[in-house]
């Protein structure tokens, strides 16, 4: 089991400082693992998040709605969608009522990619936690926010 004090060879002024740095350190550790996981699929974790949002919506939705639902509210969401569109994973649909509004729809290729990812996705990053511990961790993170 990891120990932040040993991992970064540091002491902390108090447990709150240690906890905050541990959250940041762990977040970066998870991001690194996610980047490696998604690399063979040719997408980033942020692009996966967009595809997941579109699949969950079940219908075309506005770009702004996607941005609001993203886990990581990236200012480059439009660029991420450009790349997904170039790969044929999403379609842009102009709104007939307002030409300034664009709806985004996941394609069959996008759904197939998500199905493939779902089959290979594992929750092993949290394998050291019990269900109760995972629930407690989630509650504590919610409490921070």
Locate the domains of the chain by residue range.
13-41, 43-115
8 class by beta-carbon count within 10 Å (0-12 exposed, 13-18 middle, 19+ buried): exposed
Report how far Cα 30 is from the mean position of its chain's Cα atoms.
11
- Give the Å distances, CA to CA, from 14 to 18, 27, 82, 141: 6, 20, 45, 19
Q: Is the pLDDT of residue 60 over 90?
A: yes
Q: Rounded to whole angstroms, how far apart are CA atoms 50 and 63?
A: 10
Highest average pLDDT, of 11-15, 26-30, 51-55, 69-73, comes from: 51-55
The fold of the 43-115 domain, in CATH, is Arc Repressor Mutant, subunit A (1.10.10)
Confidence category of residue 80, pLDDT binned at 50, 70, 90: very high
Residue pair 81/104 in contact by the 8 Å Cβ criterion: yes
What integer best gives the mean pLDDT of the chain? Answer: 90
Q: Rounded to whole angstroms, how far apart are CA atoms 65 and 53?
A: 9
Q: What pLDDT is stored for residue 87 in this prediction? A: 97
Q: Rounded to whole angstroms, how far apart are CA atoms 108 and 114?
A: 10
What letters, b where the CB count within 10 A reaches 16 and e where it falls short, cover 35-57? eebbeeeebbebbbbbbbbbeeb
Q: What pLDDT is stored for residue 1 in this prediction? A: 55
Residue pair 107/90 in contact by the 8 Å Cβ criterion: yes
Q: What pLDDT is stored for residue 88 in this prediction? A: 97
pTM for the model: 0.83
- Give the Å distances, CA to CA, from 104 to 46, 60, 82, 94: 15, 5, 11, 9
**Stronger pLDDT, 96 or 123, i.e. the higher one:** 96
Phi, psi of 89 (to 5 degrees): -95, -20
Mean pLDDT of 28-55: 94
């Amino acid at each position: 089991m990891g120990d932040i004090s040993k991992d970064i060879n540091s002491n902390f002024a108090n447990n709150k400082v240690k906890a905050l740095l541990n959250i940041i350190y762990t977040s970066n550790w998870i991001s690194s693992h996610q980047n490696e996981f998604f690399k063979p699929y040719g997408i980033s974790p942020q692009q996966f998040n967009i595809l997941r949002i579109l699949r969950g919506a079940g219908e075309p939705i506005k770009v702004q709605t996607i941005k609001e639902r993203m886990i990581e509210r990236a200012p480059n969401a439009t660029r991420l969608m450009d790349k997904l569109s170039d790969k044929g994973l999403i379609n842009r649909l102009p709104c007939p009522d307002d030409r300034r509004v664009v709806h985004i729809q996941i394609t069959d290729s996008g759904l197939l990619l998500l199905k493939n990812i779902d089959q290979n996705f594992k929750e092993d990053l949290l394998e050291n936690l019990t269900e109760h511990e995972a629930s407690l961790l989630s509650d504590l993170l919610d409490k921070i926010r």
